Structure formats: structure tokens, C-alpha cells
Amino acid sequence: MEDRHCVVLAVLVAVGALVARSMPAAGAGRPALLLAGVGCVVAAAASRPLLLALGALVLAGVLGARSWAGLEPPRPAAWTGTATLATDPIPGGGAIRTQLRLAGGRHVDALAFGGAAGGCLRPLLAGERVEVSGRLAPPAEGSRERLAARHVSARFTIATCRPAGSGPPWVRAANSLRRVLARGATALPEDRRGLWSGLVVGDDRDEPAQVEADFQAAGLTHLLAVSGQNVAFTLAAAGPLLRRLGLRGRFAAALGVLGLFGIAVRWEPSVLRATAMAGLALLAGVLGVEASPLRLVSLAVAGLILVDPMLVHRLGFRLSVAAVVGLALWARPVAARLPGPAVLRDAVAATLAAQAATAPFLLAFGGLAPASVPANALAVPAAGLVMVWGLTGGLAAGLLGGWFAWILHLPSRFLLGWLVAVSGAAARLPLTPVGAGPLLVAAGLVWWAVRRSEGGRVSRGLGLAAAAVLLVPSVLAAANGPGDLADDRPAFGLRLWRAQGSTVVALDGGDPARVLSALRARRVGRIDLVVATRTGPRVLAPLAAVLDRHDVVALVGPARLDVAGLRPFPVGAKMSAGPFTVTSGLAGAVDVQRLPRS
């Protein structure tokens, strides 16, 4: 098949999986599956690529319909048995959350609210087994679609838990590698370990909220998702051993390395895409067939969606595929028309290409951050070095420990400090996200520059014009200053009021990084009054993040909330903050009234 046929195949397979839910139940039966499969085999044998693509469209729809049919939520009931952790446990809001695969194959979103059950889960890793008891229930109405994309069909509240095994040999090997790396990372400062783990193995569970929010504002969160760069280096590191084998043995061993790598870093969408492309590239090498990046990503997408049709609903998968397509199509021609040294040109061109391809998805989340272009140009090379050194020096640090680990992680300290400085500086730039209008104009100018066969002043002028189109509206919007807000709820657990230069924030909990990102998106600096509406870990984590990042004039909340500087705010109490009068109500309710101008 030609590249264009591969692209059509991938697109039609994705379309089939997207519309699968609307298929009638009869369309998901075995006869339909058998008929679609036979049609694909016949079309492939007859070398009819377009017929093959149409057959794959139907096959993806049938497989997707079967996946949706298997996600019917259960009735509320008690459950006891052995389960396997499908994800690494994540602490937050006073609970430990993980995804469990119960005996029988059902995937559930599991929560352990502290105590012995939470203590049992916290040190475990994906692939390990537990004996649990608790209660099954259907997912919350608003989260069913999101959880279904991960094959999760129920909630499970864990009452009791105890370890029941470390899993098969390949899981034990992968988790042992992760634990060795984590042991070596204890030589790093505590507030850098989560960032290091995110860059090396994609584990950002312990990343500080402030760093996570800065990375998001700077457009650097993709660095924490394992990608093709990680896969390429892993294969390169295994190269000395692989080269000792014959061609077929090398191919089989390389696939084994990719499998172990995927288990170690977890099979997230970007990992699936990267390892599938690497496996296809290895197969092409064994067969002596040339395969362009566009062909590799198209075949990888088609194959992955046929194996798991729910992948097409995962935002991470869409972003990963779009970024690779952008790199394959535009990175090289854009780099050829940029001035400066090759290293800088390549980094900027890769950022522009990936951002342009993922822009349709990013616009749905508030727009494109102009600061991401310089931030990526400065951060991507350092992040690559952290990853490379993490899987070599970091592994040695974990094996040797002590002063050896401290010395071996000196390069990591410097590089992580650089990344934190770059993300913080980019996040503080007075720039607002860019919407669809300026982005389309800038994309048109860049396309015009790339289409010109020669570079020179015209192409560079078009590039500068595109930069101006992105920057000028962003700077002007920031210069206009923030507007008034009345009971704005930009993130879960956060309420916001602003008028006449005064800001009142009510915190009921929520994810700390999302709270900080929401405050930054609303251009909140100084906060005149923060009202904590409840006690416990659910509110302590976001409250600590807000107090650390923002200048807070006054803090009030329940007397039992142990936070320095907090003034008790009992029911019926009133407090003024600028033009606002804040009244404490029952059960954490807060009434905020704006006084009329005098």
C-alpha cells in the first residue's frame, strides 16, 4: 500500500470506532464480526487497499460496539475477591485511587479512604495483586464517558485490602526496575523527585502542584508523557546486546525490550503509539522495506484502534497521534526556513509542527499558550538529557545508593533546576492563550512560508508575521487587565469573586494543580480573602498550593483546620474584603455579596 492508502485506512478505522456506540445491538454480534473480518482478509489478499479500508471501517465499528456493550454498569452490591492493579495508586483528597481489574475481567475505579486499606494500596504498583472487599456501584453520571474510555464500568469503594502477590515474572521485572530508579531518586531534593520520575518513566504522581501548573501554563506537559524519544533511547541502550544476535533473534529480542519497556512505564496512549511505531519500524527493517513516518503512524493507529477501539476516545491518544503527524509533515520544511543554529531550529520547528497539529484539541481547553514555543525550545533538549541520564546514571544510582547516588544525580539536579526555571519563567509571561482566529491566520502564514521552495527574506518575513499575529492579541489581552467575576467556578472545588481590584476565593477541595491553573487562567495575583469551607486532606492540599503561590491577605475557615494564620470563621460570621461582604453558612456554605458603589 502507498502512504495515502495507509492514511485512509487509519482515518476510516478511527471513524468506525467513533460511531460504534450508535450501532444497533445486532451489529455487535459474532456474525457481523466474522463477516467484517472475512471482508478485510479478502480485500487484503486481492491487494485492494480502498476495499480493505472500508472493511476495516466496518470491523472497527463492530469491535467498538462490542466494547461498549461490555461496559454496562453493575447494580450496587458487595464484592470480595482477588483483583489486579491496572494503574499505579494515586493519593489525593484524603483517599487512594487506582483502577482494579476484578476476577472476571471487569475494570473498576477503586477508592480507599485512608486507614488500613489506603496504607495497603499506597506502596503497590500496577500489575500487583490484592485481596479486597468493598462495594460496587455504577459510575457517577458525569464521569461514565470518561471512565468508559479506560474500560472502567463501575466504582468500587474498598473496605479491606491485603497484598496477594507481585504478579507474573515480566511484571515483577518491570516493577523492580521502577523501584530501583525510585530508590536512586531519593538522592534528589524531595520537590524534584516527582518531576524526575515523570520525565524518565512517565510517573508524575508526586509532582508538586506548583510545578505541574507551571508546566501546563508553559505548554510543557507533553514532556511528562513517555514518547518515541524514550523508546528510541531504550532500544539504543539495548543495542550492544541486540547486535550480538542474528537478524530474527535481534527482532524478537527488540520486541521483548519494547514489551518490558511498556510494562515499566505503563501502557498509556502515547506509549502504545510509540512502541507500535517502533515495532513496525523494526519489522520493516527485517523485511527490507522502506517505511515513512507517516506510513508507520497510520498503520500503528489502525492496528491499535482495531485491538482497542476505546483508544479513539482518549485525549492522550489523539494528542500523541496528532503531534507525530505534525512532526512527520511539517518539522523538516519549517526547520529549513528558520534562522539560527541547527539545534535551535530543529527544536523550534518540532514545537511549531506539534503545536499546529494538536491545536484543534488544545483550543477546547482554553487556547494555545504562545509561551510554549520558546519554552519548548529551551526545555526539550534538557528534558531529553534527563531521560537519557535517568535510565543510565539513575539506574546505577539506585543500585549503588548512598554518596554514589548523590554524585550520579548531580547532572539531574542541574537539568531539573533548569526545567523548573524555564517553566516558571514562561508561566509568568504576561501572555494570554490564543484563540482560533489568530491561530488560523498564523497557520496560513506558516503554510505559505513552507510552501515556498526557497527560503530567504520572504519566508522569514512570513514567519515573523505569524509570530506577531499570535503575540499581539495575547499581549493586548493581558494588558487590558482582568475583569470582574461573580461566583465564577473555573475548577472543581474553587469559587471566585473579583471586583474593584479585590479578589475573594472559596476553596472546597479539588486538585491542587488544577486550582492553580484555574487561578492563573483568571489572572489572579493577590487574593484579599481565602475562605476554606471544610476540614481534612481534601482541602489542605489545594489550600497549601494557593498559599505557597499567591499573596493571601486573609485566610478564614473552620477552627479545626490546622493551618498557620487561619482565623476561625464560625456559622453566621461576616467579613469584609474590598467591595464584598462574606457570610459563613451551614455545612460549608458561603454567601458573598457585593456592596453597591457609593
Alpha carbons 107 and 104: distance in angstroms, whole number: 9
pLDDT of residue 3: 83
3-state SS string for 523-572? CCCCEEEEEECCCCHHHHHHHHHHHHHCCEEEEEECCCCCCCCCEECCCC
Average pLDDT of span 74-83: 92
Average pLDDT of span 344-355: 77
Alpha carbons 113 and 134: distance in angstroms, whole number: 12
Alpha carbons 262 and 275: distance in angstroms, whole number: 7
pLDDT of residue 457: 67
Contact 337, 458 (CB under 8 A): no
Alpha carbons 501 and 548: distance in angstroms, whole number: 21
**Residue 79 predicted with pLDDT over 70:** yes
Question: Within 13 Å and on the Cβ side, how many CA atoms surround 278?
Answer: 26
Paired with 451 in beta bridges are: none
Whose CA is closest to 33, among 68, 11, 65? Answer: 65
**Residue 362 predicted with pLDDT over 90:** no
Paired with 133 in beta bridges are: 80, 160
- pLDDT single digits (tens) 19-38: 888 776 555 567 777 877 78
| Per-residue buried b or exposed e for 530-567, using 16+ beta carbons within 10 Å of the residue's own CB | bbbbbbeebbbbbbebbbebbebebbbbbeebeeeebe
Average pLDDT of span 564-583: 87
Q: Containing H/E element for 41?
A: helix 30-45
Average pLDDT of span 314-329: 89
| Number of other CB atoms surrounding residue 37 within 10 Å | 16
Alpha carbons 107 and 118: distance in angstroms, whole number: 19
Q: Cα angle at 365 between 464 and 9, to 5 degrees?
A: 85
pLDDT of residue 312: 93
**Residue 477 predicted with pLDDT over 80:** no
Percent of the chain past pLDDT 70, that is, above it, reads 91
- DSSP letters spanning 421-472: HHHHHHHTSS-PPB-HHHHHHHHHHHHHHHHSSS-HHHHHHHHHHHHHHHHH
- pLDDT single digits (tens) 430-472: 777 776 677 777 777 767 766 665 556 666 666 667 777 767 7
Average pLDDT of span 553-564: 86
pLDDT averaged over every residue in the chain: 85
Under 8 Å CB-to-CB from 286, ≥6 apart: which residues? 247, 248, 251
Cα dihedral: 33, 35, 38, 42 (round 10): -140
User: Is 0.75 topped by the overall pTM?
Assistant: yes
**pLDDT grade for 157, boundaries at 50, 70 and 90:** very high
pLDDT of residue 272: 92
Q: Containing H/E element for 236?
A: helix 228-237
* CA distances, 466 to each of 372, 443, 446 (Å): 15, 7, 7
| Per-residue buried b or exposed e for 267-287, using 16+ beta carbons within 10 Å of the residue's own CB | bbbbbbbbbbbbbbbbbbeee
Cα dihedral: 344, 348, 349, 353 (round 10): 160
Could you give the 3-state DSSP secondary structure of residue 488? strand
Percent of the chain past pLDDT 90, that is, above it, reads 27
**pLDDT grade for 535, boundaries at 50, 70 and 90:** confident
Paired with 157 in beta bridges are: 111, 135
- pLDDT single digits (tens) 365-414: 666 777 888 888 888 889 888 988 988 899 999 999 889 999 999 999 99
